[in-house]
Amino acid sequence: MELTPMGGRIVVKVAETETKTSSGIIIPDTVSKAKPQRGKVVFVGTGNKTAKGKTVPLQVKTGDSVIFSEWAGTEIMIEGEKHLIMKEDDLLAVE
């Protein structure tokens, strides 16, 4: 499926959260997971427009691994997998 986000938006495929710590302790679903989330950029928009109408390209590109807050973006399903549409400004970091 091909999708083109509008303007300065991106589509991120959300990575699965770990259910076990590195020492082997299983994390139950009842534990708050209010921590930064990770994902991979799968689609990018054309960029943001300046006040003078010039398009400024986005800093991220398809394939970048990104970190974002738990509440960033709007959840959508693409081919049965969880994705988020968000503004590039909602990203915390690029790995």
How many independent structural domains does the chain possess? 1
Cα–Cα distances (Å) from 17 to 28, 29, 55, 67, in that order, read 12, 11, 35, 12
Domain presence at residue 1: yes
- On the question of pLDDT at 34 being above 70, the answer is no
Distance from C-alpha of 7 to C-alpha of 36, rounded to nearest angstrom: 24
Print the domain residue range for 40.
1-15+34-46+64-95
Model confidence at 70, pLDDT cuts 50, 70, 90, reads: confident
Domain presence at residue 25: no
Q: Provide the CATH number for the domain around residue 4.
A: 2.30.33.40
Domain presence at residue 87: yes
Greater pLDDT, 79 or 24: 79
Greater pLDDT, 55 or 36: 55
- On the question of pLDDT at 46 being above 70, the answer is yes
Domain presence at residue 26: no
Q: 8 — phi, psi (to 5°)? A: -90, 25
Domain presence at residue 5: yes
